Amino acid sequence: MNREPETRTKVVCQIKDQKFEGYGSSKKLAKLAAARIALGELHAVPPRAHSLPSSPCAPEPSQLLAHHVARLVNDKFNELMRSDLVHSKRKVLAGIVITINHSMEGARVIAVTTGTKCVSGEYMSIMGMAVNDCYAVVAARRCLQRHLYAQLLMYASSSDPRKPIPHSDLEPLPDGGYQLKPDRQLHLYVSTAPCGTSQSRMNTQTGSPVAS
């Protein structure tokens, strides 16, 4: 077990020569995450918390890529905050990872953010003089926009803006404009449930959703 600088706990479960990492805000949650990853990969056991009673036969999505995305974001945050003791203690973490053909190989972290605050009413600005919302997931969205703008600038500075750039995440459209390449996927990771109605979970005993 290893406690990372930002106070999220990391647990490594080793079975023979295979290691499975789990993260959580407590030792118990980190152990549970590591166990789920190990079971999912070794025995194809899906997590029960996400099964929907209305479609019991629906196939469970692979959790391996999801856990890989979480590990990439956490590792990148730890790398960036290694010498920053003040900001490394932030507990709510968000990040965006881009993959090609849903493959874990070559997955890239394009955004890592933290934050739990928004400014109060008297400090809000409709003129753009203040950043009103600094929640981690909102900041991650801004970083994604910045990344996409950077991809567009690559085409803008190209000798032929209509010619696809192999290493870009975007491609030109026949009728003008650009789009995300079909083989690219964007994955959002948030270390805790966002505020509002999205904070819901399934009651494992009754099967009905309850507030979290």
Q: Does 63 fall in a domain?
A: no
Q: What is the pLDDT of residue 2?
A: 54
Does residue 4 surpass a pLDDT of 50? no
Q: Does 107 fall in a domain?
A: yes
Report which of residues 96 and 46 the model is more confident about: 96
Q: Does 48 fall in a domain?
A: no
Q: What is the pLDDT of residue 22?
A: 81
Distance CA 161, CA 133 (A): 35
| Highest mean pLDDT, choosing among 32-46, 61-75, 122-136 | 61-75
Q: What is the pLDDT of residue 155?
A: 97
89 CB-near residues (< 8 Å, 6+ apart): 5, 6, 7
Q: Using CA of residue 191, residue 98, residue 77, residue 8, what is the dihedral sign? A: positive
Which structural domain range is residue 168 located in? 90-193
Task: Give 201's pLDDT tier (boundaries 50, 70, 90).
Answer: low
Task: Give 44's pLDDT tier (boundaries 50, 70, 90).
Answer: low
Task: Give 169's pLDDT tier (boundaries 50, 70, 90).
Answer: very high
Q: What is the pLDDT of residue 56?
A: 45
Q: Does 176 fall in a domain?
A: yes
Task: Give 196's pLDDT tier (boundaries 50, 70, 90).
Answer: low
Q: What is the DSSP string of the chain?
A: -EE-TTS-EEEEEEETTEEEEEEESSHHHHHHHHHHHHHHHHS----GGG--TT-TTSPPPPHHHHHHHHHHHHHHHHHHTTT-TTGGG---EEEEEEEETTEEEEEEEEEEEE---B--GGG--TTSSS--B--HHHHHHHHHHHHHHHHHHHHHTSS-TTSPPTT-SEEE-TTSSEEE-TTEEEEEEESSPPSSTT-EEE-TTT--EEE-
Lowest mean per-residue pLDDT among 44-48, 80-84, 168-172, 178-182: 44-48
Q: What is the pLDDT of residue 209?
A: 46
Does residue 99 surpass a pLDDT of 60? yes
Nearest-CA neighbor of 168 among 157, 152, 190, 182? 152
Q: What is the pLDDT of residue 95?
A: 96
Q: Does 31 fall in a domain?
A: no
Q: Does 75 fall in a domain?
A: no
Cα-flanking dihedrals φ and ψ of residue 48, to 5°?
-70, -25
Residue the block writes with tokens 């739990």: 116
Number of domains in the chain: 1
Tell me how crowded residue 22 is: count the other CB atoms within 10 A of its CB: 23
Q: Does 127 fall in a domain?
A: yes
Q: What is the pTM of this model?
A: 0.65
Does residue 168 surpass a pLDDT of 50? yes
Q: Does 95 fall in a domain?
A: yes
Angle at 144 between CA 139 and CA 145, to 5 degrees: 95
Tell me how crowded residue 36 is: count the other CB atoms within 10 A of its CB: 20
Q: Which residues make beta-bridge pairs with 93? A: 114
